[in-house]
Structure formats: structure tokens, C-alpha cells
Structure 1
Amino acid sequence: MNEMSYDVLRMITAEHVDALASGATLLGSGGGGDVTLGSMLLRRMLLEDEGAAAVPVVGAEELAADALVVHAGVCGAPDVLAERLVDPDDCAQAVEAVVAQIGGRLAAVGVIEIGGLNALMGVVAAARLGVPVIDGDLMGRAFPRLDQATLTIAGHHIAPMAVVGPLGDTVVVTRSSAAAAQALMVSSAAAFGGAATLAMFPAAAGTLVDHGVRRSLSACVGLGRVFLSVDGDAPADVVAERIGGRLLCEGRVDQVRPRSGREPGSITLIDRRSGSVVRVDHMEEYLAVTIDGRTIVRAPEVIVALDHRARCPIRTDEIRFGQSVVLATLSALHPWPPEAVEAVGPVAFGLHLDEPVP
């Protein structure tokens, strides 16, 4: 992938929302949830009297090493999250519940994952609380599980964790393993009607310098700006190159096999240029691309599917038989260590593939 340059953010204003949402959708790798309502909410907060006109953005290295950062977002069923507008007060309540367990003063809010809806929800929480948002996140893309966060892989605790429902009901977990925290988060969201706000991963800024994904908020906005500026009539390879990616395939969807429980689904395409058979494995996100039996790319690299005509990203749940699709890949924002492959690679989703072909 070509390196894409971007400006370092110092604040998020209403003018950044479209680019943030666009970049987050691309980094969602086909998952992470619909950003539409989140972008509407954040724009309203920044334009009206819901919060400050701008949210300060700081790098973790700019704070005192022991400054407290709590990460905020949402969880739940994608269809519920796409229809239920989140209350910013719930975001604030979740963060405050974690701070109450830790003690001390909140210095900033962190983003859990820079892919999908949660890229915006961390900013929403920071805006409501009147604190900066960290220029970084814990995944460098979208992943569905808490054990796939950089802090979890580095051995740091998820809890204290707070899950807040739309009526203000709050579940606080003071101590938990990663597996239990995941189950408690999912079950709490289900009990609250299918979706909830949450806060977790309280961490010192110095810990984020060592183990967080740094400057990913700036990278997300920069990626979104470039994508939005690309001519809609530009060839697919030009689009991929402009966003710092690599074109994999242009073709028609020939088969859709939905995921079943914990078993990944797949999409089969026929490349219109070469006639090759292309398989895309997926769960919530796209996980791997195999061309004529050879694995070309796999998670944690980001796989992007674009509508061939509209040039807009397509989520895994939006793929349909007969659809014309452009596939491209973006390199991961985070240099995952080899030992992290079992947590963030295809094997973490039950896929056992060969090593990618360069």
C-alpha cells in the first residue's frame, strides 16, 4: 500500500464530520456499524448548543504519563444502532461511572475502534464531557471483540466497564476477564433493547503511548477527505491508489453465503478483467480475499468493498447477488506483532488460510 500523508488534527469541528464518517466507514472493513446517525448526532452537537463548537484533539504523548483516559463507544445489534439515536448524556454517564470506580480526574476520552460508528462515538462522548479526545484508538480498524484491542493483547484490563441503556439503567463491572467482559457487554446491550453506550479500558496516557494505535483519528479524517475528493468517474485502480490502497478485483457477485453463528460467511466474485474466481471470507467484517485458491490479503489488513457505480463503501450485510463490486485493501494502521495473529487474524474467526501471496 502506498503511504498516504495526512494533517495532524488539533480539533474536530462540524467541517470534519463527513470526512471522519467516510474514513471510519472505510476502516470498518465492511463492519463497525452504520455511521449515518452517529455523524448526524455529532454534527448537531458541534453546530448547535449541545456542546462545544469544537472538540480538542490531543496525542497521548502530549498528556502527563499518568493522565486518566477512558474509552467510550456503543455496542449492540447493527440494525438497532442504525435506527436508535444515541443520547450523548448516556455516553457521559458511562464514562463517569468508570471514573467513579477508578478515582481521579478524567483527562481525555479515547476511541475504542477507529472503524465504523465507534470512531464518532468517542468524539461525541468527549464533546458532551467537555474534554479532549485522544488522537488514537485501540484497534486501528473495526473488530467485533474486546480481546482484539491492543490493550487487551498487551495484558491490560478492560474493566472497570460501564454499560448504559437508553433509560439510564447502568451496569458497572469492576473486575473481569476479557471473555467475561465481552459476554457481559453483549448480554447487557440485549437487556437494554439491543444496543447501549459503554465505557471501558481506563488507562494512563503513558500506557496508550506504548500500546495504543497513535494518530489514527487524524489518519481517519485524512483518509475520508481524500476519498470524498476522488472523482466519481475515476477508474477503480485510481480510486484505490488515491486512498493509499491496492486494487484487488472488479467483478460481479456470483454467490453469497451468509455467516451462520460463529461460522464465517463468504462472497464469491468473478473478476471481470482476468476471469479469476475471488472469494471474500467475512464475519461482521471482511477477513480475507482468496483469488484462484491463493490467499492475497487477510486481517488485520483492511479490506474495502465499493459499489462499482456509486463508489461508496459496502458493508458485509449490504452485499447482494449480481452486485458490481470493487475490492481494495488498505494496510493496517497498527504494526501488529506476530503473536497477535491468533487474536486479530483469520484464525481468530475459525479460518485457517495459507500465508498471503505478496
Structure 2
Amino acid sequence: MDVRPGTGAADGVRPAEIDSGHLDDLALGSAVLSSGGDAARAGFLHRALRESLGPGLAVPLVQAADLPPDAWVVHVGLLAAPFAAGEAMPVGTELARAARAVAHRRQVPVDAVATIEIGGHNAAAGVLAAVRLGVPLVDGDLMGRAFPRIDQTILSASGFPLTPVVLLDADGGQVTVETDDAGAVARIAAAVCATVGGWVAVATTPVRARDLAEHGINGSVTRAIGLGRTLSAAHPPADLVAELGGEVVFRGTVVDVVRTSSPSVAVLEGADNRWDVARIDMVGEFLVVAVNGEAVATTPDVICVVTESGELVGVETVRRGQAVHVVRLPSDPKWKSPETLRLSGPEAFQIAMDPVL
């Protein structure tokens, strides 16, 4: 299936295609779903996508259940260390090459693509690959939010193999990882990323559409676009939260930020009662919110911090003096079973506590 002429900006609940009119909402909604990990809208993949998906072009957006049951779907993403723009930035073709390489390894076609994680810059990854490959984009992903490790996918948590995984660097160098240990994949991928200049394009083993429809996180592209559209309407946070489908767990002012590796902490003073105190634990993403010593929100739910003007605040941008609403957005129910919580709950981040479900 080819990239088709576009039909304009999104104004339906579930778009049939992604065109240039959806990109602002996709970028902003994916920042919401990053749980504070990637709150900047203008990520490098989103910039590359704007250059690839120009006016008049669109990528078909399909549900996994609407594909032929035996169709093969490849998930792609970019594993990146924090870095500034440089000479060897990804341009988008790397994702398509990685998808072709892992499909070739399995000797199957690439019938459709999807993104590994909808949270943050990787929301653009699947669209970029779909543009380059001329195949549909599946409305879904493997996380429903952002997680830091490649093994933290709903399919891995459900017992599906993650490998073979192909890692591709800026010079076209390729590493193929094959192991039954998903945790080892994450460690190898992180080591390769650090060695080759800070980023690699990633493609995981092809998945049958029928398995993705049953076990994947479905509808996440549509959700991200809807979240972005709602947030960009600039409603006051109190009105915004109900439309986002979440709840405000605390409202107050940041009075202290302590940045360490295990974990960093933001402390907030209550807006209505200065004796109310909230603590946010964060390691790359916002992970736990406790109010007066009692946990009120934890991963795998998405925790986002929003200013009074509706601006997202991230882990790297939270600072003293900000007046904010701390919001909990429910994650996909698939993440809340005992089997999947081992990869998504607080203990997956070495925080010894039970999740708030």
C-alpha cells in the first residue's frame, strides 16, 4: 500500500490516515504520554517526519484487527542517549532499513509497521518508517506510554519473543541481537548505542497481526493525537483534566528539586493548604507521586505535570517556583496484571513499593 494524498487536519475521533495536519497534535500528545520523559514537542524525529510527510501526502492508519490475521507487523523506534543536534542526526531512512533487515532475518514481508513506544519522540518513528516503506501504520504500540528500556514492552511481559532485534547506526552498521533473555537485549542495545555515537534505529521481531490485535496496546496513535488536540486547545488545567480522562492528584508549587540517580525528587507545597506536601520520584520519567506520605499515583499510569497555562513540565524542566497540576492518566489495563507489572510497576525501577492501581 502506497503513501496517499492527504485530506487535511484531523477532526475525527479515529483518523483513517496520518497527514501533515496531524503532526502538531501527535507531537504534543506523545509528550503527554512520555510521563515527563520527553516533554519538548520539537524532537528530532518529529522534525524529520515533517520533512518527509509534506503537504498532500498521508500514511494509512489501520487497526491491527483489520489487517489479515497472518500479516506481519514490524515495530520500530530510536534508542537515544540525551544529546544535542550534531552532524550524524537520524534522518528517518534508518528506521525503514532496520525494519527491512529484521524482516529479512525472519524471511517474512513487512506488511505494516508500528512504533515501539507512543510516548515521546518515538511516536514519529512508525510514521516515518511507513512513509519510507509505503506500508500502513498500525494504530497501536508496545507500551502505551514511554518506558526507558526496550524490553519493557507488553509483548515481552506477555511471553512473546523480542528477538531478533536489529540495531542500525548512522553509518549503516548493523548489529543483530538474538537471545531469549529480553533483559540482555536492553543491556546490549544500551551498550551499542553508547559506542556508536549516542543513537541507534531499532526494529524488533515481526509479529502476526492477530497476536498484536489480542496482546498489543491498541489505539495509542489515535489517543496521542486526541490528547494533543485537547491540550493545544489551551483549556485551564481544571477543565482540561476531565477531557484528558485523568485526575488531578495534587495542585501546588514546586519548592525543591533534588537531582540524583536513584531517584531524583521534586517536592511541592499545596496550593490550598501549604502544609500539604507532595513528593514526585523520577528516573527519566515521573514514576511515583505521594501526598503527605501516601502514594496517590505510580507507574504504569502516566504522570504528567502541567502549569496553570497548560504547558507540560518534564523531568528535566521541573524547577522551583512553578505552580502546577500533577495529573494521573490511566495506562492500558494490560499493564496491571501481576505478570506485566514486573516490567511496568515501581519495582521495575528499583522503587520498593506496591503500585497504585
Same fold (TM over 0.5): yes
Residues 230-288 of structure 1 show CA distances to partners (whole Å, capped at 9, x for unaligned) of: 33xx2x3112222222112222211212131xx22211110112221000111111111
Letter in 2 for 1:107: D
Tell me, yes or no, if structure 1 residue 40 matches structure 2 residue 47: yes
Q: What residue is the counterpart of 2:67 in the other structure?
A: 63
Q: CA deviation at 1:116?
A: 0.6
Q: Which has the higher mean CA deviation after the structures are superposed, 34-43 or 87-96? A: 34-43
Match of 1:21 among 27, 36, 45: 27
Q: CA deviation at 1:297?
A: 0.9
1:29 and 1:142 in contact (8 A); partners too: yes
Residues 183-207 of structure 1 show CA distances to partners (whole Å, capped at 9, x for unaligned) of: 1111111111111211113211111
CA distance in 2, matches of 1:8, 1:342: 32
Q: How many residues align?
A: 344
Equivalences for residues 1-358 of structure 1 within 5 A? 7-32=13-38, 34-36=40-42, 37-47=44-54, 53-80=57-84, 85-231=89-235, 234=236, 236-260=237-261, 263-275=262-274, 276-309=276-309, 311-336=310-335, 337-353=337-353, 356=356
Letter in 2 for 1:16: H
2:258 and 2:265 in contact (8 A); partners too: yes
CA distance in 2, matches of 1:280, 1:307: 15
Q: Which runs of 5+ in 2 are unaligned?
A: 1-10
Q: CA deviation at 1:160?
A: 1.1
RMSD: 2.1
1:240 and 1:328 in contact (8 A); partners too: yes
CA distance in 2, matches of 1:290, 1:29: 16
Task: Tell me which stretches of 4 or more aligned residues in structure 1 moved more than 4 Å.
Answer: 32-35, 80-84
Q: What's the secondary structure of 1:181's corresponding residue? A: helix
CA distance in 1, matches of 2:87, 2:34: 19
Q: What's the secondary structure of 1:106's corresponding residue? A: coil
2:346 and 2:355 in contact (8 A); partners too: no
CA distance in 2, matches of 1:102, 1:168: 20
Q: CA deviation at 1:82?
A: 9.6
2:158 and 2:340 in contact (8 A); partners too: no
2:88 and 2:170 in contact (8 A); partners too: no
Residues 147-166 of structure 1 show CA distances to partners (whole Å, capped at 9, x for unaligned) of: 32001011111111111111
Q: CA deviation at 1:83?
A: 9.2
Instruction: Note closer, same or farther for the CA distance 1:205–1:354 as it changes in structure 2 (3 Å cut).
Output: closer
TM-score (norm 2): 0.91
1:122 and 1:133 in contact (8 A); partners too: yes
Q: CA deviation at 1:335?
A: 3.3
TM-score (norm 1): 0.90
Q: CA deviation at 1:6?
A: 7.0
2:62 and 2:138 in contact (8 A); partners too: yes
Instruction: Note closer, same or farther for the CA distance 1:82–1:17 as it changes in structure 2 (3 Å cut).
Output: farther
Letter in 2 for 1:352: A
Give % identity.
34
Q: CA deviation at 1:55?
A: 0.7
Instruction: Note closer, same or farther for the CA distance 1:199–1:290 as it changes in structure 2 (3 Å cut).
Output: same
Letter in 1 for 2:25: A
Q: What's the secondary structure of 2:96's corresponding residue? A: helix
